[in-house]
C-alpha cells in the first residue's frame, strides 16, 4: 500500500484526539483536508478506519490495527530524521529486558561502554523473569531481550513465536555456599537458593542433587543474585551464580565456591523481534554486547568442581 507521510500523521492525530476539527487546528489544515486525508487512507486500506459519531470519531477494529503500524512507521521516520541531523551517529532509546544475573553482572560493562561510545543512545533496563523476557520481545514492549540458554547455537537461529534468537557469548557459573562448612567432604545441601526458577542456570543444582540424593532439595527464591549470595553466605543454602559474582576473598564471611558441586556454562542469547529490521540504536547495543560480553566471559576467575554443559 502506498501511503503519504502527511496522511499518516493526519490519521495519527485524529486517532489521538478523536476529532477532525481538533486535528485540523493542531496540524494547520482545513477540516475538509483532514477529511480527504482520512478518506484517501480508507480507500487504500479497503476498510473504514473510524466510526463517525455525533461528537467526534472512534477507531474501528481495522483502525486499531492500522494505528499500531502507523505508530511504528512514524517512529522510524522520526528516528531517521534525528540520526541524519546527527550525521548518522546512532541515536535513540533501547529498552532491554534481561534476567537478574545478566542485569546485575554481565550488563555493567556493556552499559559503561555505551555511555562513551554511543552517547546519543539511551539504554532503559528492565529486570524480568526468563519467561517474561520472551513475551515482552514478542509484544514489542522491549527492543531486545537477554536470557541464558544451554545450547551455544551458531549466529542467528530461526525465529519461533515471532522472536529471533542470536547467540552472543558464554558465561561460566559456579555453585557457592557458606565459607565455614566447606572443609573436607561436606554433606550434600538440602536447600538451593534460586534467582529465577525458569532460567536454565538455576535448574542445574536441583537436578544434580535430585539425581544424587534420590529426592528433590528444597528451593528458596531470592529474586536477585545478590540476595542469593547473601543467603548462601549466611548458610541458608547453596546457589548457582555467575563466576563474576562469586568474588571470593573480598568478604571473608561471604559465600565461597563449593568444589564438591558441579559448575556449568550458560550461553547468553539475544531475543529480537522477527521484523527483519533493527534500528541503529539497537544494532549499536548488540555490537557492544558481542564485544564486551565476550571479553568478560574470557576473563579469569574462580572455578568450582566439575562443569556440566
Band of residue 186 on the pLDDT scale cut at 50, 70, 90: low
Mean pLDDT of 3-23: 93
For the whole model, what pTM was predicted? 0.66
Residue 219 in this model has a pLDDT that exceeds 90: yes
How many angstroms separate the first and last alpha carbons of the chain?
50
pLDDT of residue 246: 82
* 273-298 pLDDT tens trace: 887 678 888 988 998 888 865 444 44
Band of residue 309 on the pLDDT scale cut at 50, 70, 90: very low
* 16-43 pLDDT tens trace: 999 999 999 999 999 999 999 999 999 9
Q: Mean pLDDT: which of 83-87, 186-190, 269-273 is highest? A: 269-273
Going by C-beta distance under 8 Å and a sequence separation of 6 or more, which residues neighbour residue 122? 92, 93, 94
Residue 111 in this model has a pLDDT that exceeds 60: yes
Residue 216 in this model has a pLDDT that exceeds 90: yes
pLDDT of residue 249: 41
Mean pLDDT of 237-246: 90
pLDDT of residue 88: 63
Residue 301 in this model has a pLDDT that exceeds 80: no
Band of residue 157 on the pLDDT scale cut at 50, 70, 90: low
Residue 241 in this model has a pLDDT that exceeds 90: yes
What is the Cα–Cα distance from 44 to 205, expressed in whole angstroms? 58
Residue 104 in this model has a pLDDT that exceeds 80: yes
pLDDT of residue 184: 52
Task: Render the chain in DSSP notation, one character per residue.
Answer: ----HHHHHHHHHHHHHS-HHHHHHHHT--HHHHHHHHHHHHHHHTS--EEEETTEEEE-HHHHHHHHHHHHHHHHHHHHHHHHHTTT---EEEEEEE-HHIIIIIHHHHHHHHHHH-TTEEEEEEE--HHHHHHHHHHTS-SEEEEEES----SEEEEETTEEEEEEEEEEEEEEEEGGG-SSSPPPPSEEEES-TTSGGGGHHHHHHHHHHSSPPEEEE-SSHHHHHHHHHTTS-EEEEEHHHH-TTS-TTSEEE-TTS-EEEEEEEEEEETTS---HHHHHHHHHHHHHHHHHHHS-----S-EE-
Mean pLDDT of 239-264: 79
Cα angle vertex 223, ends 221, 227, to 5°? 90
Residue 214 in this model has a pLDDT that exceeds 50: yes
Q: Above pLDDT 70, what percent of the chain? A: 83
pLDDT of residue 187: 77
What is the Cα–Cα distance from 157 to 91, expressed in whole angstroms? 27
Mean pLDDT of 49-74: 92
Residue 48 in this model has a pLDDT that exceeds 60: yes
Amino acid at each position: 500500500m502506498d501511503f503519504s507521510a502527511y496522511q499518516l500523521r493526519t490519521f495519527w492525530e485524529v486517532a489521538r484526539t478523536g476529532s477532525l476539527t481538533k486535528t485540523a487546528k493542531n496540524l494547520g489544515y482545513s477540516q475538509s483536508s483532514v477529511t480527504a486525508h482520512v478518506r484517501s487512507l480508507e480507500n487504500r486500506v479497503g476498510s473504514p478506519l473510524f466510526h463517525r459519531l455525533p461528537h467526534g470519531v472512534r477507531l474501528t477494529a481495522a483502525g486499531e490495527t492500522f494505528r499500531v503500524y502507523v505508530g511504528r512507521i512514524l517512529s522510524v521516520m522520526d528516528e531517521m530524521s534525528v540520526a541524519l541531523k546527527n550525521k548518522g551517529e546512532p541515536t535513540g532509546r533501547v529498552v532491554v529486558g534481561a534476567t537478574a544475573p545478566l542485569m546485575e553482572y554481565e550488563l555493567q560493562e556493556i552499559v559503561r561502554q555505551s555511555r562513551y561510545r554511543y552517547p546519543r543512545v539511551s539504554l532503559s533496563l528492565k529486570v524480568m523473569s526468563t519467561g517474561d523476557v520472551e513475551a515482552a520481545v514478542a509484544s514489542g514492549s522491549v527492543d531486545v531481550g537477554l536470557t541464558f540458554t544451554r545450547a551455544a547455537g551458531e549466529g542467528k537461529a530461526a525465529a519461533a513465536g515471532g522472536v529471533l534468537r542470536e547467540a552472543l557469548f558464554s558465561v561460566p557459573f559456579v555453585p557457592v555456599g557458606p565459607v565455614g562448612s566447606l572443609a573436607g567432604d561436606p554433606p550434600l545441601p538440602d536447600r538451593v537458593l534460586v534467582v529465577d526458577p525458569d532460567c536454565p542456570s538455576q535448574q542445574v543444582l536441583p537436578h544434580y542433587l535430585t539425581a544424587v540424593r534420590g529426592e528433590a532439595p528444597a528451593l528458596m527464591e531470592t529474586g536477585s543474585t545478590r540476595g542469593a549470595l547473601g543467603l548462601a553466605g549466611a548458610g541458608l543454602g547453596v546457589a548457582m551464580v555467575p563466576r563474576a559474582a562469586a568474588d571470593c576473598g573480598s568478604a571473608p564471611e561471604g559465600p565461597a565456591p563449593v568444589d564438591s558441586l558441579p559448575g556449568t556454562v550458560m550461553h547468553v542469547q539475544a531475543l529480537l523481534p522477527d521484523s527483519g529490521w533493527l534500528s541503529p540504536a539497537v544494532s549499536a547495543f548488540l555490537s557492544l554486547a558481542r564485544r564486551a560480553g565476550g571479553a568478560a566471559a574470557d576473563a579469569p576467575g574462580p572455578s568450582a568442581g566439575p562443569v556440566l554443559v
